[in-house]
Structure 1
Amino acid sequence: MSDQLSLSDLINVQIEAQGPMSLSTYMNLCLTHPTLGYYRKSDPLGRTGDFITAPEISQMFGEMLGVWVAQIWQQLDKPNRLTLVELGPGRGTLMADMVRIFQSVPGLLDALNVQLLETNPVLKQQQAEKIKGVTLSWVEEIHQLKEVDGPIISIANEFFDALPIKQFQYIKGNWYERLVGLKDGQRVWGLSPTPMPADAFPPQLGTPEENAIWEMAYPAQKNMEELGALLAEKTGALLAIDYGYAQTQTGETLQALEKHKMVDPLDHPGEADITAHVDFEALTEKLDRERLNICPLITQGQFLKAMGIEMRAKAIIDHIPDAKQKVENDLDRLIGAQQMGELFKVQAIGSKNMVPYPFEAG
């Protein structure tokens, strides 16, 4: 059927047959349908795509993460076997920039086992072409990493924001799940007729305002739990960078981007990138705090400054004076309070007794 019908038609057929669908089901189809999903069929990144991630803005971003990985390897006493896994590595730009840093750290490349969590065949090909100097392996599920040797360092840059969410709306003292339905052949928002039990919602929400929206990202929490268990078993550290908020709260953050413009998430399934802000408190709340060190959240600006990005920018300008304006613009975009510097947060997690630099113990 999928050979004849568009993803939009397929979703409508499913709603007609089974009734309104959860937002998480809708997002899952939009993003990961085997042949028509957004992340399965094309390259969404860059100036001709739908959005630009930090590694695509400037090499300095990836270089600072490379410095961080090298620092963690040293904190781990330079093991002769280290697995570095990147979740959702895009075109491979971030990993390529990190590897360039590793080349100047004696012994690190020899120890390194690079694993990329990726499902998009177009991006896999680009990663293979772009990332030089290391042997690459690909996995499609986190559990496949259980077989690796030695400590593990995980990098997740704008990974969790792209995982499906559910939305709930507060009406007259009850929470109802928001659903995607059909009206006159058009997809529209609706509500489940059945209220949800009150104890299913975080106490931090208190008594919300009428019509408040709460977003719950179960797949993101599940992935983080798997990563946490892996980290506790093998030791090492995890770094997650994403736009989001520190404490669980109400508020709708769902958005869709198509060719760098905001569009209605219900309009073009499979053609737009659909994301939501990350609730970092919920993301880490079920991790084993006896075996893991969940560091306090910091901003992307704080993290990159601590890793030396301002000195790196100065060094580039000194070397290539003509690049001054671009480097300064890129730096402001990455660390500026009005740009990505405050909106993007950085969550580090270390194995027991491991406090990843430059974070504080949790």
Structure 2
Amino acid sequence: MTNSQPIRLDHFMAAANAAYYGQKNPFADFITAPEISQMFGELIAAWVIAVIHTMPDDSAITLVEAGPGQGTLMADMLRVIRQAAPDIYQNCSVIFVETSERLRQIQKQAIAHHTDISVRWYDSIDSIPSQPMILVANEFLDALPIRQFVKVSSGEWAEHYVYQGQLFQKQVADLPKAPIFQRPVREGDIVEVCEAGQDIIKTIAQRIYKDGGAALFIDYGYASPVWGDTLQAIAGGEKVSPFIDPGEADLTAHIDFLALKEIVIATGARAYGIQTQGEFLKQLGLLVRAKMLAARATEIEQKQIAEAVYRLIDPSEMGDLFKVMAIMHADLPIPPAFELNKEIK
């Protein structure tokens, strides 16, 4: 992928990631929480079961995963749901939101032994039929394209474009509709807007408000008013330039969870969080589950379990960087691990 003319940053990022996910194996470059330990998917399954038990008894539930990667999270969830809540398992169907045909085949293999439930694939959230759903999205929003704006002076803004491997600024007259522009931004600050993410969150919240259900988003992001430039590229497990060799690296940006929460509330659905991943998993019982697994594990396995716990919840690893937000139908109670409803300032 090359750009012979200046291209807006979000258009550049969308094209680069489309090329990357269409041709590369992203899991050679990074590892996600479900791949670190089965405990992650098990606890998410427990959360899903608890939420479904608060819904109307006659609900036929659709389990939706957006950005399902290799299908590991859904495979772990279905294993637990089939064992712990067979009534829910028999009454559910699965939908993957995935555009990559290569990844679809990997996901199909991951849950191949679940032949007794319906499994479908869709390209977008908009395509999902109208019905109650429980949606889970882990590291989904971060790969969506962002726009970057720089406050040049009072009332004047510039936007980032990409040309010949470099960023440069072009003045803009009109700003997109985004909550971040209502916040106190200083001269020289960089602000990021993920229009695709905002649209997806609005769509999901509206669907949940209308049809019922819940959604759980886990991603690295921030809950402070302004964060600055968060665009990064990973290739071979190392940080590289986002603008050199586009399509060869995974481009991501941190999520503005405050903006997403405002969008959810405006739809009439309920938003809970913003919680850190570390606190979320601890409240769901990660440490108890780890102790149970370690009790019947070999010494080597015990070390692996301890390492996984560290990576998932320690503040220096994923524990603080990753945030969690839930979207719920207004008739449902506060979901598990959000009872304290802590805000991250």
Please say if 1:91 is aligned against 2:49: no
The secondary structure found in structure 2 opposite 1:220 is: helix
Match among 307, 314, 322 for residue 336 of structure 1: 314
1:214-262 CA distance string (max 9 Å, x none):
1111100001111111111111111000010113314110000001100
State the shift of 1:78 in Å.
4.2
Contact 2:264 2:327 in 1 (8 A): no
Contact 1:237 1:351 in 2 (8 A): yes
Greater shift in the superposed pair: 88-97 or 307-316 = 307-316
The secondary structure found in structure 2 opposite 1:192 is: strand
Aligned-partner residue type, residue 358 of structure 1: A
Contact 1:42 1:122 in 2 (8 A): no
The CA distance in 2 between the partners of 1:291 and 1:198, in whole Å, is: 22
Q: RMSD of the TM alignment (CA)?
A: 2.0
The secondary structure found in structure 2 opposite 1:103 is: helix
The CA distance in 2 between the partners of 1:290 and 1:144, in whole Å, is: 20
Match of 1:3 in 2: none
Aligned-partner residue type, residue 62 of structure 2: T
Match of 2:15 in 1: 29
Please say if 1:43 is aligned against 2:21: no
Match of 1:319 in 2: 296
State the shift of 1:79 in Å.
3.7
Structure 2 gaps of 5+ residues are none
Match among 52, 75, 90 for residue 73 of structure 1: 52
Match of 1:351 in 2: 329
Please say if 1:187 is aligned against 2:165: yes
Matches of residues 102-251 of structure 1 in structure 2 within 5 Å?
Answer: 102-104=81-83, 105-131=85-111, 132-133=113-114, 134-145=117-128, 147-149=129-131, 151-173=132-154, 174-181=156-163, 186-194=164-172, 196=174, 202=180, 204-209=182-187, 211-251=188-228
The CA distance in 2 between the partners of 1:207 and 1:227, in whole Å, is: 29
The CA distance in 2 between the partners of 1:300 and 1:197, in whole Å, is: 32
The CA distance in 1 between the partners of 2:266 and 2:178, in whole Å, is: 23
State the shift of 1:80 in Å.
4.9
1:272-293 CA distance string (max 9 Å, x none):
0000000001123223546311
State the shift of 1:156 in Å.
0.8
The CA distance in 2 between the partners of 1:253 and 1:340, in whole Å, is: 16
Please say if 1:57 is aligned against 2:43: no
Q: 1:238 to 1:308 in 2, by over 3 A?
A: same
Q: 1:269 to 1:142 in 2, by over 3 A?
A: same
State the shift of 1:94 in Å.
0.4
Q: 1:334 to 1:79 in 2, by over 3 A?
A: farther
Q: 1:201 to 1:76 in 2, by over 3 A?
A: closer
The CA distance in 2 between the partners of 1:115 and 1:290, in whole Å, is: 24
In the superposition, the TM-score normalised over structure 2's length comes to 0.91
Report how many aligned residue pairs link the two structures.
Answer: 334
In the superposition, the TM-score normalised over structure 1's length comes to 0.87
State the shift of 1:361 in Å.
8.8
The CA distance in 2 between the partners of 1:361 and 1:310, in whole Å, is: 19
Matches of residues 234-273 of structure 1 in structure 2 within 5 Å?
Answer: 234-273=211-250
The CA distance in 1 between the partners of 2:147 and 2:13, in whole Å, is: 9
State the shift of 1:75 in Å.
1.2
* Identity between Structure 1 and Structure 2 (%): 37
Aligned-partner residue type, residue 241 of structure 1: I
Contact 1:295 1:361 in 2 (8 A): no
The secondary structure found in structure 2 opposite 1:297 is: strand
Structure 1 gaps of 5+ residues are 1-6
